[in-house]
Amino acid sequence: MNQQLEQLLKNAKAAARVLMKMPTDEKNKALLVIADALDANVEGIIEANKADLKAAQDNGMSKAMQDRLLLDEKRIRAIANDVRKVATLDDPIGEVIREMKRPNGLVIKQVRVPIGVFGIIYESRPNVTVDIATLCLKSGNVCVLKGGKEAINSNKKLVEVMNEAVKDLLPVGTISLVTVLDRSIVGELITANEYVDVVVPRGGAGLIQFVVKNASVPVIETGAGICHLYVDKDADMDMAIKIAINAKIQRPSVCNAIETILVHKDVAEVFLPKLVDAFVPTVQLKGDDKTRAIIDCAEATDQDFHTEYDDYIVNIKVVDTIEEAVDHIFNYSTKHSETIVTDNDEAAAYFMDALDSACVYHNASTRFSDGGEFGFGAELGISTQKLHARGPLGLREMCSFKYMVYGDGQVRQ
């Protein structure tokens, strides 16, 4: 194993034993110190981020992906405020989930506990570095972070600022960053069962599938986001356009942005021209044959419907029925987030019951698939699997549990 990684993992494992029993007030104190340190180091963080942005521009990174990478003063202040919000959240550790008293007098308590060491592998969003570190801290976990090379300077600076702030409050290894850029290091991290309790990949489908297929450490699969908007025949057209704009244009590079719009044939000739007015020239439109018979756009291929663009591109398909829309989503969705716009409650109920995605919406943007918007505080990611947790991963989803059993001399007969 790479020597740097092994030392980080040893430190993390040792730190986890301290964090698992750290009082809430001490964790909150560390979080507030981190928030203040981020505010105090805005200029240094921006300078580090500029180096990453320059490299991104030189390498031809798309504008949308550059936006993911950007840290300006407003975003850094917002990150610091998010850390303060995490400090105000209820600490899940020690919470009694249920309590039972057996006929033999044993008292059994199911109690939330930290998972331990999180290995987090993610791509270009440096805000994730702080989000994950602080969520792990609040939930009594430690983190070993492996960010993408495109954000290496930003991530180094953020971890440096956080660790300097808490050096007298937390054990070494509470927040660690793997700075080795060789891709082989990911394979070592996700097979380090001796040290790592769970691995969480955050990024594109390629990264996620690599981790899922190659990890021996348990994985929480956070999903690529091929999300869908279905405009029903009974939809309010203005509402549908408003939701489409928010779900695609507000921030196209995030996983809860839509990639495909499905439109019922009965409203296609009304809705699609309105969509053109709202989207063009900002968004490139790709459509099936029925769509292209109504509006001028590029052809959408089967591969397009399987693509998470993370960019100002959207697919459009005209469907004959709501059942066809649901079938399409089942075929192409990554089970992240889907939404229906309709004034027909029966259609909405069918859509929401028939789909198997982590988050399903009626008359609302998929952009709400977010731990902060759900009231969880910051989030670890959006899980598209069914075990161990699903949807936005907040503090409780970052915990395991153990049984504490109290007796007065009982022995099993």
Q: Would you give the distance in Å from CA 156 to the centre of its chain?
A: 21
For the chain, what is the domain count? Answer: 2
Residue 373 covered by a domain: no
Better pLDDT: 110 or 202? 110
What totals of helices (H) and strands (E) does the chain contain, helices first?
15, 16
Q: What is the CATH number of the domain that holds 296?
A: 3.40.309.10
Q: Are 311 and 252 in contact (CB under 8 A)?
A: yes
Domain contains 413: no
Would you state the structure tokens that stand for residue 17, as one six-digit string?
Answer: 């034993």
Poorest-pLDDT segment among 2-6, 200-204, 293-297: 200-204
Query: Do 49 and 183 belong together in one domain?
Result: yes
d(CA 256, CA 91): 27
Flag whether 8 is in a domain: yes
Structure tokens at 366: 């998929």
| Widest CA span in the chain | 79
DSSP 72: -
pLDDT at position 25: 98
Q: Tell me the per-residue pLDDT of 20-71, one tens digit each, with 9 for 90 and over.
A: 999 999 999 999 999 999 999 999 999 999 999 999 999 999 887 898 899 9
Domain that holds residue 245: 227-368
Residue 258 in domain: yes
Question: Given this model, what pLDDT does residue 228 score?
Answer: 98
User: Using one digit for the tens of pLDDT, what is the confidence trace for 283-336?
Assistant: 999 999 999 999 999 999 999 999 999 899 999 999 999 999 999 999 999 999
Residues 132 and 181 placed together within one structural domain of the fold: yes
Confirm whether 36 is domain-assigned.
yes
The DSSP secondary structure of 178-202, one letter per residue, reads -----THHHHHHTT-TTT-SEEEEE
> How far apart (Å, rounded) are the C-alpha atoms in residues 322 and 230?
8
pTM, two decimal places: 0.85
Clarify whether residues 390 and 278 are in a common domain: no
pLDDT at 181 over 80: yes
